[in-house]
Structure 1
Amino acid sequence: MEEEKQTIHVLMVAFSSQGHINPMLRLGKQLQNKGLHVTLAVTEIFLHRIATNHHSTTATTTAAAADNQIPSISGIDIASFSDGLSLEYDRKSNLDTYMKTLAEFGPVNLTSLVTSLGCDITRPKKFSCIINNPFVPWVADVASRLGIPCGMLWIQPCTLFAIYHGFYNSPEDFPTKENPEKSVKLPGLPLLQTSDLPSFVLPFNVFGSLANVFFESIKNIHKLRWVMANSFYELEKEVIDSMSKFVVIKGVGPLVPATLLGQDDHEGRDFVGIDMWKADDRCIEWLNQKDPNSVIYVSFGSLVVLSKTQMESIATALRESKRPFLWVVKPSEFQVTEGAGELPKGFLDETKEQGLVVPWCAQIMVLSHKSIACFVTHCGWNSMLETISAGVPVIAYPMWTDQPTNAKLMADVFGVGLRLRPNNDGFFESETIKEYIEEIMDGPRSVEFRAKATEWKSMARDAVACGGSSDRNIQEFIDDIVKLSSSHTIKCNVDSSTKCQSS
């Protein structure tokens, strides 16, 4: 009798925030499209928020509780484990405490989840591999104890991996309290000033727990069979090649919705992900009324909240530019200090014929709209990959963590825009913002910025296309999983016909 086939199961575990979950979901969907079964494990609080708050960018989300179905997003099963805290606990009140609690209780509870999924009499899952991200490095220890091969999806540019690797192996080469302005030279990278480095490697970093998770990720590299990155080889060729003597890191991105990459959606790949807030429906209709390459798009992502002074500076620059703008200003619930995140009084009335301010937008649709001329951004890596894939130049306005390095890459390495730098008081002056808007839209280098952005857009599409560098890396990963599973006498239903055929 023919031996029963068993699907190869992959478990993905991500830090539970929107910017970490979406790249995982998009990688998971690609694995699923090639015949693997994927489960994403999130914390219970995040699953609760998904069920009650979120706006999925796909129509196939299932809110589990109502009918006892397994919750899923785009066909990817969602499972949850406790982070050791009650649903009512305010996790934003002390990030260091939360990260320590997660590292203490997460391993035990994730182990229990994996065990319970494997013992489910209705749908048992024997995982062939576990994939984590750098913010939950302890997952590698869980996988090791369970005897399951582990990989990591690095959700920042490979350049950041090289920086953290260099810092934790040779910290003396980086800025110190005694020499805070020390520049850093690493293989495959330009000379990096203090202002170009991620905030977690600087001597006055106040988020010790976040620095520690990167240290643990680097320390656990030997426990990982695969290191993948949400980037693509052509974008970071020099640094990827320079890192090969320490670790093989392979680009599998950009992990963005298919429409940004010129792909058809016949396999349900498009708009895989979640938005924790509902997009304002007015955006696209408003953009449709604007001329091509005329609109300034301003957004600082899901986490950054600008101070009152920063808000006033941007508002003044936009108003005085006399150009149409679309500005995402998150609701007042995100206010952390008086006036933070709030528009100056009278701004909406003064600019009602010039711009549109919304609490949230469908960024993928906005960036791909022909009216968008440039993107004023905090330089979160997901947003940077989206703007690269859309071919839109940027004005970089970095704040913290990886954003200063991403801004350095976008302006000085990839050549797709300009980077704002604060004055001696740490303030981005409105006059400078206005000057950069003029320069990137009509200045002597504006044509150069657009041409370079278009070039990277084409290269991003080539990377994910059939036979491209990222497509090949994903297929090599799948082939290795299949080989490992076969050596453990697990039969699988991965159809070899799902491998793309290059012409």
Structure 2
Amino acid sequence: MTSSESRAEELHVMLVAFSAQGHINPLLRLGKSLLARGLQVTLATTELVYHRVFKSSSTTAATTDTIPTNFTTNGIHVLFFSDGLDPNPDQTQLTPDDYMALVENLGPINLSTLIKTHFINNSKKLACIINNPFVPWVADVAAEFKIPCACLWIQPCALYAIYYHFYNNTNQFPTLENPELNVQLPGLPLLKPQDLPSFILPTNPFGALSKVLADMLKDMKKLKWVLANSFYELEKEVIDSMAETYPVIPVGPLLPLSLLGVDENEDVGIEMWKPQDSCLEWLNDQPPSSVIYISFGSLIVLSAKKLESIATALKNSNCKFLWVIKKQDGKDSLPLPQGFKEETKNRGMVVPWCPQTKVLVHPAIACFLTHCGWNSMLEAIAAGKPMIAYPQWTDQPTNAKLVSDVFRVGIRLEQDSDGFVETGELERAIEEIVSGPKSEELKRNAAELKRAAREAVADGGSSDRNIQTFVDEILATRLDVMESSNEVNK
């Protein structure tokens, strides 16, 4: 064992996220990589995650509501703090603004208590805290204990650059007086208002969500590092454009290992919803590159009008399809147009949730009709699948722009002012991506990015080197702190 590894084994890193699967899993996968480099890793998340994910696997709390303090998953310790939310699902229907305000109020107090109880009072060396952009108050807690803080950016680096320039007023952006203003930023193509994240548009109704991003990006000195769930080869231009401003360090893609050509048994992650594995059996019976996969993620609920448009396009296209539609609260049936399942029963399958990573790598999948959430996009990139982009809100419009104009692995749908896509436009996109003149080019580009993603996380790849540099800097920073402390105590 080297002296560096010996020192690392004595040091702990804490990951902090609240109860969102897409926030927790990238942090866990980064934590797994830090664990492999000798650091001790702890995830701190909300009690809601314990009740929804971990409780059934805990022997110490199988028959009670007591939350264990020695819980681990794949070698990572897990601690839980209250966000003030009742674990009863019927009492968790807050607006995004209400929930963010609740977490911001109670999170710092409860996280501080965890740190004192499990680290300070036990003389454990907490060398670094890693949060994500949606819990910026974690940086203040870290500063209170004089612990270096990193942020894992869980959207594209392009979004990091856009938000940085917006909240620091370095460029002009659309306003109520000039809503049609186009934006030109270094490392990015010209961005029209429909290409920008919804949080920075003058029509944004979610004040608290915009505020948490502003809290991070207007006071960057709180962060020693900004890491990103992306890879250099995917976003080279925009990453280079931020190098002299406030660098972002790509350490991804932080994805299930089965997508990256590694043994999936080594993976770590959580599932907030139980997938329906029968869809894999159905896919096994379909010809190669014959099935359109449709999913809008775990949060988005489509209107009846949008569901009708998609259903009609699928019916008219005569393509095979696998469609994920989450059940609505209190309803047993899926909200499908009347007669749709009967009319397409020999061509498609509709499920409330599926094992997405296994679906995307399946040879039967031809393309992915997606809302352009970043985790879903990264999974499609790592699986080498072209995309049809149907964005809804937050970072998704910008992600859709990246799909079509930067990564060049898909088609962006034309939407009206309300975000609706006509049936004919969906039919056009399906035909173009499956068998149109651009289909082969899109497949080649997707295959090239799949290769680049695997190389980035392999030994010696760009993200692998960045993670090792991060670990080395954690060790050096902690040694400097310890040496300064020893000088003061002499």
Aligned to 1:26: 29
Query: How is 1:309-328 mapped onto 2 (pairs within 5 angstroms)?
Result: 309-328=305-324
1:49 and 2:52 matched: yes
User: What is the CA–CA distance in structure 1 between the aligned matches of 2:149 and 2:418, rounded to whole Å?
Assistant: 45
In the TM superposition, residue 340 of structure 1 has moved relative to its aligned partner by: 12
Bigger shift: residues 243-252 or 85-94: 85-94
Q: Secondary structure at the match of 1:274?
A: coil
| Structure 1 unmatched runs, 5+ | 54-60, 491-503
In the TM superposition, residue 172 of structure 1 has moved relative to its aligned partner by: 6.3
User: What is the CA–CA distance in structure 2 between the aligned matches of 1:190 and 1:471, rounded to whole Å?
Assistant: 28
User: Closer, same or farther in 2 for the Cα pair 1:86/1:333, shift >3 Å?
Assistant: closer
Deviations 1:261-318 (A, max 9, x none): 11245xx532x21111111121111111111111100001110110000001111111
Deviations 1:153-180 (A, max 9, x none): 0000000000001111117600001111
Query: How is 1:59-458 mapped onto 2 (pairs within 5 angstroms)?
Result: 62=58, 64-66=60-62, 68=68, 70-88=70-88, 90-118=91-119, 125-170=124-169, 173-264=172-263, 268-270=265-267, 272-333=268-329, 342-424=335-417, 426-458=419-451
User: What is the CA–CA distance in structure 2 between the aligned matches of 1:406 and 1:383, rounded to whole Å?
Assistant: 11
1:14 and 2:26 matched: no
Q: TM-score, normalised by structure 2?
A: 0.92
Aligned to 1:57: none
Amino acid at match of 1:351: T
User: Closer, same or farther in 2 for the Cα pair 1:119/1:483, shift >3 Å?
Assistant: closer
Aligned to 1:496: none
Q: Secondary structure at the match of 2:366?
A: strand
2:165, 2:171 within 8 Å by CA — same for their partners in 1? no
In the TM superposition, residue 36 of structure 1 has moved relative to its aligned partner by: 1.2
Aligned to 2:461: 468
In the TM superposition, residue 388 of structure 1 has moved relative to its aligned partner by: 0.3
In the TM superposition, residue 329 of structure 1 has moved relative to its aligned partner by: 1.0
Amino acid at match of 1:104: N
User: What is the CA–CA distance in structure 2 between the aligned matches of 1:91 and 1:191, rounded to whole Å?
Assistant: 40
Bigger shift: residues 94-103 or 157-166: 94-103
User: What is the CA–CA distance in structure 1 between the aligned matches of 2:457 and 2:171, rounded to whole Å?
Assistant: 39
User: What is the CA–CA distance in structure 2 between the aligned matches of 1:340 and 1:435, rounded to whole Å?
Assistant: 30
In the TM superposition, residue 49 of structure 1 has moved relative to its aligned partner by: 1.7
In the TM superposition, residue 325 of structure 1 has moved relative to its aligned partner by: 0.5
Amino acid at match of 2:317: S
Aligned to 2:472: 479
Q: Secondary structure at the match of 1:162?
A: helix
User: Closer, same or farther in 2 for the Cα pair 1:250/1:171, shift >3 Å?
Assistant: closer
In the TM superposition, residue 220 of structure 1 has moved relative to its aligned partner by: 3.0
In the TM superposition, residue 228 of structure 1 has moved relative to its aligned partner by: 0.3
1:51, 1:63 within 8 Å by CA — same for their partners in 2? no
User: What is the CA–CA distance in structure 1 between the aligned matches of 2:418 and 2:351, rounded to whole Å?
Assistant: 30
In the TM superposition, residue 489 of structure 1 has moved relative to its aligned partner by: 4.7
2:327, 2:333 within 8 Å by CA — same for their partners in 1? no
Bigger shift: residues 419-428 or 312-321: 419-428
| Structure 2 unmatched runs, 5+ | 484-490
User: Closer, same or farther in 2 for the Cα pair 1:354/1:127, shift >3 Å?
Assistant: same
User: What is the CA–CA distance in structure 2 between the aligned matches of 1:238 and 1:488, rounded to whole Å?
Assistant: 35
Aligned-pair RMSD on alpha carbons?
2.2
Q: Secondary structure at the match of 1:173?
A: coil
Q: Secondary structure at the match of 1:332?
A: coil
Q: Secondary structure at the match of 2:53?
A: helix
Amino acid at match of 1:100: A
1:153, 1:229 within 8 Å by CA — same for their partners in 2? yes
Amino acid at match of 1:83: D
Count how many residue pairs are aligned between Structure 1 and Structure 2.
473
User: Closer, same or farther in 2 for the Cα pair 1:464/1:334, shift >3 Å?
Assistant: farther
Amino acid at match of 1:8: L
In the TM superposition, residue 416 of structure 1 has moved relative to its aligned partner by: 0.3
User: What is the CA–CA distance in structure 1 between the aligned matches of 2:283 and 2:202, rounded to whole Å?
Assistant: 44
1:228, 1:251 within 8 Å by CA — same for their partners in 2? yes
Amino acid at match of 1:342: P
In the TM superposition, residue 433 of structure 1 has moved relative to its aligned partner by: 0.5
2:168, 2:217 within 8 Å by CA — same for their partners in 1? no
Bigger shift: residues 180-189 or 67-76: 67-76
1:42, 1:80 within 8 Å by CA — same for their partners in 2? yes
User: Closer, same or farther in 2 for the Cα pair 1:257/1:37, shift >3 Å?
Assistant: same
2:53, 2:271 within 8 Å by CA — same for their partners in 1? no
In the TM superposition, residue 484 of structure 1 has moved relative to its aligned partner by: 2.4
Amino acid at match of 1:284: L
Amino acid at match of 2:103: L
User: Closer, same or farther in 2 for the Cα pair 1:35/1:172, shift >3 Å?
Assistant: closer
Q: Secondary structure at the match of 2:266?
A: coil
Aligned to 1:495: none
User: What is the CA–CA distance in structure 2 between the aligned matches of 1:427 and 1:133, rounded to whole Å?
Assistant: 31
2:255, 2:379 within 8 Å by CA — same for their partners in 1? yes
Deviations 1:209-257 (A, max 9, x none): 0000110111231111111000001111110111111111110000001
Q: Secondary structure at the match of 1:375?
A: strand
In the TM superposition, residue 361 of structure 1 has moved relative to its aligned partner by: 0.6
1:63, 1:71 within 8 Å by CA — same for their partners in 2? no
Amino acid at match of 2:433: I
1:306, 1:340 within 8 Å by CA — same for their partners in 2? no
1:390, 1:457 within 8 Å by CA — same for their partners in 2? yes
User: What is the CA–CA distance in structure 2 between the aligned matches of 1:320 and 1:82, rounded to whole Å?
Assistant: 49
Deviations 1:423-443 (A, max 9, x none): 355421111101110100100
User: What is the CA–CA distance in structure 1 between the aligned matches of 2:427 and 2:335, rounded to whole Å?
Assistant: 20
1:64, 1:70 within 8 Å by CA — same for their partners in 2? no
1:35 and 2:34 matched: no
Amino acid at match of 1:269: E
Q: Secondary structure at the match of 2:329?
A: helix
Q: Secondary structure at the match of 2:323?
A: strand
Bigger shift: residues 466-475 or 218-227: 218-227
Q: Secondary structure at the match of 1:16?
A: coil
Q: Secondary structure at the match of 1:216?
A: helix
Q: Secondary structure at the match of 1:244?
A: coil
